[in-house]
Amino acid sequence: MRFAKILFEPSEKNLIKKLKKEHKVLLSLCVKIETNFQKQKFGKTVKLLKKLKINFEEHIKSENEFLYPYLKSKYKDIRIISFIEQKRKEIFKIKIIFEKFINEYKNANSIKKKTFKEDFDMINFILIRRIKFEETKLYSYY
């Protein structure tokens, strides 16, 4: 069984490095979405939103499969475990908000709505805030 753990448990440096790299990709996609929207390239904006969705879902999956289980097994203090579980639940709430946003703006016509910019700015703000939290606080528990 200990060999399976070695095979499937990512190393500390590799996992955090991977998650931070995913953060950079997410933020880069947000910048590209903003740029293309401003240039009124709505078709390209839709494609980038789809790419953002896929990358965001993959990132959450990585955290859910590797980061959170590892953190929960590492600590015995119920306060730390509760904190970790709370943050895990928060990301799923963010995911629901994100999915509603993506479903609202599936095509070029929907992106032309006046609400897109405001909604996108809010999603971007939420992502940036969460990424800062993860990189400055949550990952330090790893």
Residue that has been written with the tokens 């289980």 in this structure = 69
Q: What is the pTM of this model?
A: 0.87
Please, which pLDDT band fits residue 9 given cuts at 50, 70 and 90? low
Residue that has been written with the tokens 């095509």 in this structure = 107
Q: DSSP string spanning 55-100?
A: HHHHHHHHIIIIIHHHHHHH---HHHHHHHHHHHHHHHHHHHHHHH
Q: Domain tally for the chain?
A: 1
Report the alpha-carbon distance of residue 126 to residue 2 in Å, rounded. Answer: 39
Task: Let me know: does 40 contact 76? Beta carbons within 8 Å.
Answer: no
With vertex at residue 115, the alpha carbon angle to CA 113 and CA 121, rounded to the nearest 5 degrees, is 125
**Interhelix angle 42-62/78-104, nearest 10 degrees:** 160
pLDDT, one tens digit per residue, over 85-104 is 999 999 999 999 999 999 99
Question: What is the number of other CB atoms lying within 10 angstroms of the CB of residue 118?
Answer: 9
Q: What's the domain range around 34?
A: 2-141
Length, in residues, of the chain: 142
Task: Let me know: does 106 contact 46? Beta carbons within 8 Å.
Answer: yes
Task: Let me know: does 29 contact 51? Beta carbons within 8 Å.
Answer: yes
Token pair for residue 81?
A: 């475990």
pLDDT, one tens digit per residue, over 28-86 is 999 999 999 999 999 999 999 999 999 999 999 999 999 999 999 999 999 999 999 99
